[in-house]
Every structure is written in C-alpha cells, then in structure tokens.
Amino acid sequence: MHYRILGGTGIEVSAHCLGTMMFGAAGNSDHDECVRIIHAALDQGINFVDTADMYSAGESEEIVGKALRGRRDDIVLATKVHFRMGEGPNRSGNSRRWIVKEVEESLKRLQTDWIDLYQVHRPDHTTDIEETLSTLTDLVHQGKIRAFGCSTFPAEEIVEAHHVAERRGLMRFRTEQPPYSLLARGIETSVLPVCRRLGMGVLTWSPLASGFLTGRYRKGQPIDLTTGRAALTPARFDPALPVNVTKLNIVEQLMEVADGIGCSLPDLAVAFTVAHPGVTSVIIGPRTMNQLEALLKGASLTLDDATLDRIDEIVPPGTNAYQPDGAWRPPALTDTARRRRPLADRSAA
C-alpha cells in the first residue's frame, strides 16, 4: 500500500481509506464481522479509517471504536459532523453549539481521546463559516482533534472558507471529501484544482458510483428493484429512466476497457480515482469481507496513458453522467425564493 501526505498536515495516509458507512444497521449489523473487516484492512496496510456520526445513527463509530482498541496509535481516524442526530432543534448543522456537543459524543463512541481528522459533512448556510472555523480551531487547541476538513463543499465555498480563516487568524480546512468516480468527474473542473492550489488533501467517496460500477448492473439485463441498493433508491437503478440508460451505456464501454487490460470494472474504477494527482486517498466502503478482498486485490493496478485516454473519450474530463446521490445542492437551486423576484418586481418595465 502506498502512502501520501494528507494536505499540509504532515500526516501520512494510505492511498486507500477504509470507509465504514456500511457498518451497522444501514449495511452489516454483525459487529464482530465488521471488526474483522477493519482488522483485515489494517493488516493489508490501510492506516486511514473514515466514519461519521450519522452512519447508522452512531453505530458505525461504535464499531470502529471496538476495532481500534489497542491499535489506535497506528491509525489515522477521521469522522464527520453535520447531519441530524435525534429529534428536536439544534441537533444538526455546523454551529458552535452542535459541534462542541457532538464531538464529545463521537469521542465516546470511538473510545478515543482525539480525532485525527474532523470533517464538516456538508455546508450549512444558516451558520456563518467564521463561527464554524472558530469552533474547529478551538477544538484543535484543546487537543480533541488534530486537523479538520470539509466534505462535498463547492469550490467557491472552499475558497471563501480559506479567505475567512486567513483574515480572522483561524486555522483552515486541510482536506475536502468530494464524490468522484468514472461516472461523476465534475470535481475535476474546479474542486480538485482549487484544493491543489490551497494545498489541501482530498479523500474521495463513492468510486463505484453507489454500486453502478460493480459490474452487477448491465444493459439489457433485468435489474431487481426490490433488493439491495436498488430497493433503497430505485430511481438510481431504474433502467426506464434516461439518466440510468446513459449510465448503463457508459458501463458497457468501460467494461470493454477493463476487459482489454485484464481487470474487473471495480478495479478499473478505483484505480482511475487513485491516479489523479489531486487525490490523496480513495475511500472504499465494503459491506462484507469478500467485497474488501476484491477491492484490495486490484490495489496494485496501474492505468497507463492509453487507458486513461480511452476513459476520457467515454466520459470527458470534468463531466458528470449523473448527479452523485447524497451530494449537496446549494440553496440557490433548491429555494425558489432565491431564484424568483417578488411577483410585482419581475418585469423589466
């Protein structure tokens, strides 16, 4: 396993990061098996583990905490805060009130005194970014976290956060965690270049495009929308929808590329994301031991220029074949009041 420096932190992390979103009620509820999967990943040289408070409502963090007993000093541990945890107001977001409370809960679940990388899971336009950065800076000074980053932030908000930190004398985001795959290359346009200019580490999620690049879903073959991932989000896999027709057509072309170089489609997908110079580590999120073993089997795959050129022909750089599920959408698009003047003020004359 190769290791890379995480942004400007000086911390060395493996080129594969073990994602644990599928550990717990949302995926694999067998804690003992999940612990064995984590240990197997560590034994193969992965030293970077990523989780979040909201994964299975804290259960994922609890599993990670169990798995890291006796091995904590050797592991770079990352978790996240933002999404709702429980009922009632003030139990989500990026406010000082919530972050200060929730970091303590994460520390308890993870059974540790510190978090190496604490990430803001999504933007929060109800909270001033200075408030968030100030809180995270305080947590570093208190020794509860070592560094902090953001996840699925658009390039302009990364730049704004950097300038606010500089003006106010605060610590800044050291990392960004965006979606990135053969089917979702949108971050190549601005997010990755901005992160490189600012010296930020990048750990990407969903290299298999939420399962679409596993090779399980093929053009002309029936897709069972009642089981697995397809049952949870049928619109993501329904072959009757135009966006999925596009994805299926691309998958067929990518399968030809994979066959041509003698690898599997998942191997091609993960190796593609690892190859980008702006990417520090790629999050792989297995649910079972077999899935972990299959993903690690392709860790040594190197894609040559001819292969990458062919991929560029199929999915042009900087383009998305679909909008990555779970990615953040700005209020400027979701809130109609931000796109429409009052009725009396909509005409030019």
- DSSP per-residue letters across 253-290: HHHHHHHHHT--HHHHHHHHHHT-TT-SEEEE--SSHH
**CA angle centred on 276, ends 273 and 281, rounded to 5°:** 60
DSSP letter (8 states) at residue 241: S
Instruction: Tell me the C-alpha distance between 155 and 21, whole Å.
Output: 25
Task: Check 55, 180, 217, 322 and give the catalytic one.
Answer: 55
Sign for the CA dihedral angle at 212, 215, 217, 218 comes to positive
Strand boundaries in 55-113, DSSP class E: 76-81
User: If 0-12 CB within 10 Å is exposed, 13-18 middle and 19+ buried, where does residue 222 land?
Assistant: exposed
Phi, psi of 294 (to 5 degrees): -65, -40
Question: What is the end-to-end Cα distance of the chain in Å, rounded?
Answer: 65
Other C-beta atoms lying within 10 Å of the C-beta of residue 309: 9
217 an active-site residue?
no
Contact 269, 213 (CB under 8 A): yes
Handedness of CA 56, 18, 271, 13 (dihedral sign): positive
Give yes or no for a contact between 61 and 73, defined as CB atoms under 8 angstroms apart.
no
Catalytic residue numbers, as ranges: 55
